[in-house]
C-alpha cells in the first residue's frame, strides 16, 4: 500500500561552508497528487545529472526500512526523510525486480534502478555514512519511471501488472554494482533487462568489458615500476628554446631505468626549490624504451619548480622521482593516429611519436602541432626527424605569431589551431586521437574531432594540472586557487596534492583527506563521500593511509578513496 506521497522543490542549503542546491527535502502531500512523466506535481530535483529525468522520475522507499533505520540510529523519522516521493508498505528491495511494473492509483510505473548513492541523503538526516549503510544493509530503495500518468494518494493499493525478466531484485542489482564478489552471469542478465536505466546498463557493460572479463572491478593501473620516490641523477640539462629546458635523468647506480609507456609522466620532488619541497609532474618527452628519462620543462614566469629547473638545477644533482605513471598512453592498433598538441603539451605526444618511429609503424600518423613562433617551438627538429622516418606521416604546424620567412622555413601555417582549422584538415574518422595542451584547446579539439565522426572513446586528453572538480549539487562559486587551510598549521603527516602544488599538514579538524582538500580549495571529485561510489579514487604516489569507514570495495593497488582515507604517514597524491 502507498503510505505517503512526498514532494519538495530544490532549495539552497548551507553545508560545510558551501551551498548545496538540492531537492532531497520532501514533505508529505495531503490528498491526491498528479504524477507526470518527469515529476510529481510540486516536486523537483536540484542536480539533474545525478537525479531525476525520465528514468528516475519517482523515488520509492519502504516503511520497513524506516523501522530498520529508526532502530539503527535511535532517531524518529518522518515520511520523505530519505528523499523519497513514495513511502510504501511492502515491495522490499529484495523482492522487487528491475522491470517490474506496478499500478498505483491512476498511474502505472516501472522499476528502473536502485537509488543513486549520493551524500545528500546523509546530509538530510545528519548521518554522513548513510549512503554506504544503505548499500551494505541492502536497503537502497529504488527509482521508477512513469508508464502512464495519473493521480496517486496515500492509501492507494499497489498492484503488480508485469514481472521484469531475469528476476533481478533491486538489492541484488545494487550489490552487483557496489559490492565485491560479483557474479558475471548476473551481470550479463542485468544488461539484458531493457527496463534497467542506460546509466546502470553502461556501468555493468564496463565491468564485463574489464580485462579480467569476470565482472570483477577493473584491476586499476599497472603496478608502478618502483614504490614511492627514488633518487635519480641529473645527467644532462639541455636548453631547447628560450623558455623550455630538457633534463635527462638516470639511475644513481648506472643501471638502466625501467621502460615507461609512451605518454606517461614522472612526479618529481624538488628539494632545494622551496621548503617544503615542491612536488610537480612532467611528461616524459623521451623514447619510452630509452635507458635515461628526459623531461622538458617550460619556465613559468613566477613558477617555483620550473624556475628552479631553469635557473638552479645542476648537472650531477639528484632529484626524487616517483615511477612513470598515467593512463594517457599510446594504445596498440592499426587505425590512424592523430597526435595533437599546443605549446609544452608536445611532450607526451612526442614520446608517442618516438614509440611509433621505433616500431617502424605502418600506421597513418598525423602530427598536428601549434606554437607561437619558432623560438617557442620546443623539440620541433626532433619531431620532424621522427616523422621523416615514418612511411605514412603527415605534419601540420601552426604558428600564431611568426614572421612569413619563419613560417616558410618550418612549413607552418599562419594562425592559431582552432576547431575550424582542425576540421578543414580532412581527418580520418576511424582514427584514435591523443591531445595535450591548455584545457580550452583540448575542449575545442575534442569537439571538432567528435563532430568529424571520431568515437568519443578514441579521443584521449592529458591535462597539465588539477582535473576538473566533480562536486554534485554544490552551487558554482569562484573558487580561489588552492591554499593552506584557515587557522594555525596542524602537526600531523604532510599531505601533498601534487597537481595542485600544495603540501598541508593533516590535523584533527578533518575526518579524512577529502575534508582537508575541501578546506584548501583543492579541486576534488566525489559523490557519496563514504566509500561506495569510487568517484573520489586517486592515485597514491607515496605514503600509507588507513580507512574510516572501510570502503565497501577497496580500490585497486596504488589508488586510494580519499573520502574515507586518513594519512598514516606523509602522503603524495596525484590530485
**DSSP reduced 3-state for 222:** coil
Which of ligand FES, ligand FAD, none sits in contact with 325, Cβ below 5 to 8 A by type? none
Q: Which does 512 bind (CB under 5 to 8 A by kind): ligand FES, ligand FAD, none?
A: none
Report residue 54: phi and psi, to 5°: -60, -40
- Residue 341 near ligand FES by CB under 6 A: no
Stretch that binds ligand FES, among 320-328, 347-355, 468-476, 520-528 (CB under 6 A): 520-528
What are the CA-CA distances from residue 524 to residues 18, 424, 437, 474, 562 (Å)? 14, 37, 21, 12, 9
Element (H, E) at 449: helix 439-451
| Strand pairing class (142-148; 58-62) | antiparallel
> Is 502 one of the binding residues for ligand FAD (CB under 6 A)?
no
Query: Could you give the angle at which helices 184-191 and 198-209 cross, rounded to 10 degrees?
Result: 140
Q: Which of 96, 99, 95, 88 is nearest to 65 (CA)?
A: 88
Q: Say if strands 393-399 and 571-573 run parallel, antiparallel, or are unpaired.
A: unpaired
Closer residue to ligand FAD, CB minimum distance, 12 or 327: 327
Instruction: Tell me the sheet residues that pair with 326.
Output: none
Label residue 128 exposed, middle or buried (CB < 10 Å: 0-12, 13-18, 19+): middle
Contacts of 30 (CB under 8 A, 6+ apart): none
Decide if residue 294 touches ligand FAD (CB under 6 A): no
Show the beta-strand stretches assigned E in 437-493: 459-462
Which option in ligand FES, ligand FAD, none does residue 344 bind, with CB closer than 5 to 8 A by kind?
ligand FAD
Annotate each residue in 295-334 with x if it binds ligand FAD (CB under 6 A) or - if it does not, as one string.
xxxx-xxxxxxxx---------------------------
Task: Pick out residues in 234-263 that bind ligand FAD (CB under 6 A).
Answer: none
Shortest approach of ligand FES to residue 533 CB, angstroms?
A: 4
Alpha helices in 50-152 (DSSP H): 63-73, 119-125, 130-136
| Residue with Cβ nearer ligand FES (66 or 178) | 178
Q: Is 465 in the site for ligand FAD (CB under 6 A)?
A: yes
Looking at 123, 560, 561, 575, which residue binds ligand FES (CB under 6 A)?
561
Backbone angles phi, psi at 540, to 5 degrees: -105, 115
* Minimum distance from residue 534 beta carbon to ligand FES (Å): 5
CA–CA gap between residue 257 and residue 293 (Å, rounded) = 8
Is residue 545 a contact residue for ligand FES (CB under 6 A)? no
- The yes or no reply on residue 398 touching ligand FAD (CB under 6 A) is no
**Unique residue bearing C-alpha cell 549503510:** 133
Size of the residue set binding ligand FAD (CB under 6 A): 24
Is residue 531 at the binding interface for ligand FES, with CB under 6 A as the rule? yes
- Kind and range of the H or E element at 58? strand 58-62
Residues 333-392 that bind ligand FAD (CB under 6 A): 344, 347
The answer for 228, left when phi > 0, alpha when psi is -120 to 50, beta otherwise, is: left
- String of DSSP letters for 421-483: HHHTT---TT-EEEEES-HHHHHHHHHHHHHTT--GGGEEEE-SSPPPPB-TTBPP--PPPP-
CB-nearer residue toward ligand FAD: 215 or 523? 523
Q: How far is the CB of 118 from ligand FES (least distance, A)?
A: 9
Reduced DSSP (H G I as helix, E B as strand, rest coil) percent helix, strand, coil of the chain, to 5: 25, 30, 50
Residue among 33 and 498 whose Cβ is closer to ligand FAD? 498
Is residue 499 part of the contact set for ligand FAD (CB under 6 A)? yes
Q: Indicate left, alpha or beta for 463 from its phi (over 0: left) and psi (-120 to 50: alpha).
A: beta
| Residues forming a β-bridge with 461 | 435
Q: Which of 533, 540, 571, 575 binds ligand FES (CB under 6 A)?
A: 533
Residue from 243, 281, 355, 496 binding ligand FAD (CB under 6 A): 281
Does 534 contact ligand FES by CB under 6 A? yes
**From the CB of 478, what's the least distance to ligand FAD, in Å?**
16
**Which of ligand FAD, ligand FES, none does 561 bind, CB closer than 5 to 8 A by kind?**
ligand FES
* Nearest-approach distance from CB 57 to ligand FES, in angstroms: 24
Distance of closest approach, residue 330 Cβ to ligand FAD, in angstroms = 15
Report the nearest approach of ligand FES to the CB of residue 135 (Å). Answer: 11
Among 355, 527, 538, 542, binds ligand FES (CB under 6 A): 527
Instruction: Tell me the chain's radius of gyration from C-alpha atoms.
Output: 27
Q: Does 563 bind ligand FES (CB under 6 A)?
A: yes
Q: Tell how far CA 151 is from the center of its chain.
A: 41
Count CA atoms within 13 Å of residue 399 on its CB side: 20
535 binds ligand FES (CB under 6 A): yes
* Number of residues binding to ligand FES, judged by CB under 6 A: 12
The answer to whether 552 contacts ligand FES (rule: CB under 6 A) is no
Residues near ligand FAD (CB under 6 A) are 265, 278, 280-283, 295-298, 300-307, 344, 347, 464-465, 499, 501
Amino acid at each position: 500500500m502507498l503510505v505517503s506521497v512526498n514532494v519538495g522543490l530544490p532549495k539552497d542549503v548551507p553545508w560545510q561552508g558551501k551551498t548545496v542546491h538540492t531537492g532531497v527535502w520532501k514533505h508529505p502531500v495531503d490528498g491526491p497528487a498528479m504524477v507526470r512523466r518527469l515529476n510529481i506535481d510540486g516536486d523537483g530535483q536540484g542536480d539533474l545529472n545525478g537525479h531525476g529525468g525520465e528514468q528516475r522520475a519517482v523515488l520509492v522507499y519502504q516503511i520497513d526500512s524506516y523501522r530498520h533505520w529508526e532502530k539503527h540510529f535511535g532517531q524518529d523519522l518522518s515520511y520523505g526523510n530519505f528523499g523519497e516521493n513514495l513511502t510504501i508498505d511492502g515491495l522490499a528491495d529484495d523482492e522487487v525486480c528491475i522491470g517490474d511494473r506496478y499500478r498505483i492509483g491512476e498511474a502505472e510505473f516501472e522499476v528502473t534502478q536502485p537509488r543513486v548513492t549520493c551524500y545528500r541523503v546523509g546530509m538530510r538526516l545528519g548521518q554522513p555514512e548513510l549512503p554506504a549503510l544503505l548499500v551494505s544493509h541492502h536497503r537502497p530503495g529504488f527509482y521508477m519511471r512513469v508508464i502512464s500518468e495519473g493521480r496517486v494518494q496515500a492509501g492507494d493499493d499497489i498492484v503488480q501488472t508485469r514481472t521484469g525478466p531475469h528476476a533481478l531484485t533491486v538489492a541484488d542489482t545494487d550489490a552487483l554494482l557496489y559490492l565485491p564478489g560479483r557474479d558475471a552471469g548476473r551481470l550479463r542478465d542485468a544488461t539484458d533487462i531493457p527496463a534497467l536505466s542506460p546509466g546502470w546498463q553502461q556501468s555493468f557493460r564496463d565491468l564485463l568489458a574489464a580485462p579480467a572479463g569476470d565482472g570483477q572491478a577493473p584491476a586499476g593501473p599497472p603496478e608502478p615500476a618502483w614504490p614511492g620516490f627514488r633518487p635519480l641523477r641529473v645527467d644532462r640539462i639541455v636548453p631547447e628554446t628560450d623558455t623550455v629546458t630538457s633534463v635527462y635523468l638516470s639511475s644513481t647506480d648506472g643501471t638502466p631505468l625501467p621502460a615507461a609507456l609512451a605518454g606517461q609522466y614522472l612526479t618529481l620532488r624538488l628539494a632545494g626549490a622551496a621548503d617544503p619541497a615542491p612536488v610537480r609532474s612532467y611528461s616524459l618527452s623521451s623514447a619510452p624504451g630509452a635507458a635515461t628519462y628526459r623531461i622538458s620543462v617550460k619556465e613559468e614566469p613566477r613558477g617555483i619548480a620550473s624556475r628552479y629547473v631553469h635557473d638552479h638545477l645542476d648537472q650531477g644533482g639528484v632529484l626524487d622521482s616517483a615511477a612513470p605513471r598515467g593512463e594517457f598512453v599510446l594504445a596498440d592498433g592499426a587505425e590512424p593516429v592523430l597526435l595533437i598538441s599546443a605549446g609544452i603539451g608536445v611532450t607526451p605526444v612526442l614520446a608517442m611519436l618516438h614509440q611509433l618511429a621505433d616500431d617502424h609503424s605502418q600506421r597513418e600518423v598525423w602530427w598536428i602541432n601549434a606554437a607561437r613562433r619558432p623560438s617557442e617551438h620546443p623539440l620541433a627538429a626532433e619531431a620532424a626527424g621522427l616523422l621523416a622516418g615514418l612511411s605514412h606521416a603527415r605534419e601540420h604546424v601552426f604558428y600564431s605569431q611568426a614572421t612569413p620567412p619563419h613560417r616558410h622555413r618550418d612549413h607552418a601555417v599562419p594562425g592559431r589551431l582552432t576547431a575550424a582549422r582542425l576540421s578543414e584538415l580532412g581527418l580520418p574518422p576511424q582514427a584514435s586521437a591523443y591531445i595535450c595542451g591548455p584545457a580550452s584547446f583540448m575542449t575545442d579539439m575534442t569537439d571538432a574531432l567528435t563532430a568529424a565522426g571520431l568515437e568519443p572513446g578514441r579521443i584521449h586528453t592529458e591535462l597539465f594540472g588539477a582535473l576538473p572538480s566533480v562536486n554534485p549539487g554544490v552551487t558554482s562559486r569562484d573558487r580561489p586557487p588552492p591554499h593552506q587551510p584557515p587557522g594555525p598549521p596542524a602537526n600531523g603527516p604532510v599531505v601533498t596534492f601534487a597537481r595542485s602544488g600544495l603540501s598541508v599538514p593533516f590535523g584533527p579538524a578533518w575526518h579524512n583527506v577529502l575534508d582537508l582538500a575541501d578546506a584548501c580549495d583543492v579541486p576534488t571529485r566525489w559523490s557519496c563521500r563514504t566509500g561506495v561510489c569510487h568517484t573520489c579514487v586517486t592515485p597514491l604516489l607515496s605514503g600509507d593511509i588507513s580507512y574510516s569507514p572501510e570502503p565497501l570495495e577497496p580500490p585497486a593497488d596504488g589508488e586510494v578513496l580519499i573520502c574515507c582515507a586518513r594519512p598514516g604517514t606523509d602522503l603524495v597524491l596525484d590530485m
